[in-house]
Amino acid sequence: MAWRRSAFSKKSALWMVAALMGVSARALAIEPGIADYKHMGVASCATSVCHGKLAPATDKDVALNEYRIWQQEDRHAQAYRTLELPESKRIAANLGLPNATAAKICLDCHADNVPADKRGPKFQISDGVGCEACHGGSEKWLPSFNLAADMTDRLKLRLGLFRAMSRPDPEDLGAGRIFSVDSSVSYNSVAEAIRNVTVTGNPALEPLMSWNVDLSAEYYLNRDSMFSAGLFYKKFQGGFENVLINETYEIGGQSVTVPVVVPQTSDDESEIYGIELTGAYRFSMLLAPFDGLGVKASYSYADSTFETQDLRLGDQQNAVTGEVAPGLIAPVDIFGLSKHVASGSVYYEIGPVELQLIGKYRSSYYQQFVGAASQNRVVRDATVIDFRASYKVTDGLSLTFQGSNLNNEPRVEDMPIPGSVREVHLYGPRYYLGARYRF
C-alpha cells in the first residue's frame, strides 16, 4: 500500500507532538532554588574568561570552552532554527498553529522557553536550547578576578574582585516543629495546649549572595621578615528575617490553627568592611645564637550592617500584612564575625629546635547552634595563651610538645542578651606530647 505524503505528514506530526508534550528541553531535574533564577542567555557565557575559550583549559576542573563546542558542534544550538524550515512550517500548519517560532508547544522543546520574567537582558529565544535549559538560570553565577603586581623587588600589590555564595547550614534547612505542652496544666482546648510551637528551620531558605573586594600590599624586608596591610569589603544581597504565619494541624480529627514564627530569606542588603595588618620580623642581624629570635603579629578589624534577629524575641514580620512588630531585644551581627581579632607570638628557631609562645585575642561574636535553630547565642571576649615546642631528632623523626590555654581562659556564652549567662565552659590548660616519623 502506498502512503499518501500529506496524510503521513499530518499523522506523524500529531504522533510526535503527543509523545513529546510531557518532555521538553527543561525536562532534567533542576535544584529548586536554581529554578527560580533568571536565565541570562548564552551570550553571558561566551567570553574567554567564562566558557568561551578557543582551546580547552588544562589547569582547571572544567575546559572553559563549552560555549564554542555548543555553538559549533552541538545541534541544540540549531534547535530554534529548525522551526523556520519549510517542513516545520508544514507541521505547524497541520496542527493549526500560525507560527512554529511563536507556539509554546514548539518552543518548549526547541528553545529555552522560560517565562518572560525569568529572562535576563541578553536572553534570546532564538538561541535555541542553551546551557541554562539543563543547568538552570545563571543569574547568580560566581565571577572572579585576581591581580598580583610586583611593583618592586620588595613590594607586591594584590587585588581580588569576586562574587560568592553562602548557603544556609543544613540544620537551618529542616522542617521540624517542636510542641511544648505542660502536663501539669489543664488546657481548655487543643489550640491552647499547642500555642507554643517552635520552628526548627525552613527548607525554602535561599543562599546569601555577596560581591567582594580585597586589596592588599605586601612589603618584604628579607626572606624572614615582611609587613602587609589589606582592606576588604563585602556587600550581601539578602538576609534573614522572622515571619509570623498561621499553620493548621490535624489533631484527633480536629483542625487547629496556631501562629508560628518561621525564618526566611529577605531582600535586605548589608555590608562587611574592615582592615587586616600582619607583620613578621626575625632578628637575623644579631649574633648567634640570638639570630634565631623573631616576632609575629596580626590584627583585623571588621564591622557590619548585617542584622540577625532573635528567633523568639526579635523583630517579627506578619506574612499577610507585611507589618513588622518591633522585637524586645537588639539583633546580633552575622554569625562568626568578631569586630577585633589579634594575635602575637615570639619564636626561637635554631638548628633542630623550634620554640613559640602565642597569644590570641578575639572579641565577642554570634555563634549559631549545631542542630535545631534557637535563640541568639553570643560568645564573650577571650584571650588565650599557647606554647609550642619541637625538636628534630633525625631527618625523619621529630618530637613535639604543645600546651594550650595556659592561662585557663573560660568560654562564656550569653543568650539571648549580653549578661544573661547560658553556659560557662572551663577547659583548663591542656598539654600534648607527640612524635612523628616520615618514611
Residues 404 and 296 in one domain: yes
Domain of 122 in residue numbering reads as 5-135
Confidence of residue 31 (pLDDT cuts 50, 70, 90): low
What's the confidence (pLDDT) of residue 9? 38
* Tens of pLDDT, residues 82-92: 999 999 999 99
Domain identity same for 204 and 121 = no
**4 pLDDT exceeds 50?**
no
Same domain, 111 and 168: no
Does residue 272 share a domain with residue 148? yes
Q: Nearest CA to 416 among 293, 242, 169? A: 242
Report the pLDDT value the prediction gives residue 436, as an integer from 0 to 100. 93
Among 135, 153, 183, the domain boundary falls at 135
283 vs 165, which has greater pLDDT?
A: 283
Same domain, 150 and 121: no
Q: Highest mean pLDDT range out of 39-53, 54-68, 392-406? A: 392-406
Q: Please report the beta strands in 367-405, taking only residues with DSSP state E, as ranges in sequence order.
A: 378-379, 382-392, 397-404
Residue-wise pLDDT for 191-248, tens only, equals: 888 888 888 888 888 888 899 999 999 999 988 899 999 999 999 888 888 888 888 9
Residues 150 and 113 in one domain: no
Number of domains in the chain: 2
pLDDT at 33: 55
Q: Is the distance from CB of 130 to CB of 112 less than 8 angstroms?
A: yes
- Which pLDDT belongs to residue 373? 59
My answer on whether 384 and 248 are in the same domain is: yes
Whether residue 266 has pLDDT greater than 90: no
Work out the percent of the chain whose per-residue pLDDT is above 90.
49
Three-state DSSP at 388 gives strand
DSSP H or E segment with residue 12: helix 5-20
Which of 103, 135, 167 is the last residue before a domain boundary? Answer: 135
Give the mean model confidence (pLDDT) for residues 134-146: 83
| 286-327 pLDDT, tens digit each | 998 899 999 999 999 999 999 888 888 889 888 778 888 999
Which of the listed residues 135, 163, 192 is the one where a domain comes to its end? 135
pLDDT of residue 24: 40
CA distance 213 to 89: 52
- Of the pLDDT bands very low, low, confident and very high (cuts 50, 70, 90), residue 345 is very high
Are residue 161 and residue 122 in the same domain, yes or no? no
| Claim to verify: residue 160 and residue 216 sit in the same structural domain | yes
SS3 state of residue 72:
helix
pLDDT at 13: 39
Closest by alpha carbon to 160, among 171, 172, 148?
148
Amino acid making up residue 43 = A
Mean pLDDT across the stretch 32-55? Answer: 79
Q: Which residues pair with 88 in a beta bridge?
A: none
Let me know whether 353 and 404 are in one domain: yes
Grid-cell match 548564552, residue found:
42
Full DSSP string of 327-363: PSS--B-STT--SEEEEEEEEEEETTEEEEEEEEEE-
- Residues 69 and 53 sit within 8 Å (Cβ to Cβ): no
Same domain, 339 and 371: yes
Residues 258 and 396 in one domain: yes
Give exposure, 64-97, as e/b (b: 16+ Cβ within 10 Å): bbbbbebbeeeebbebbebbeeeebeebbebeeb
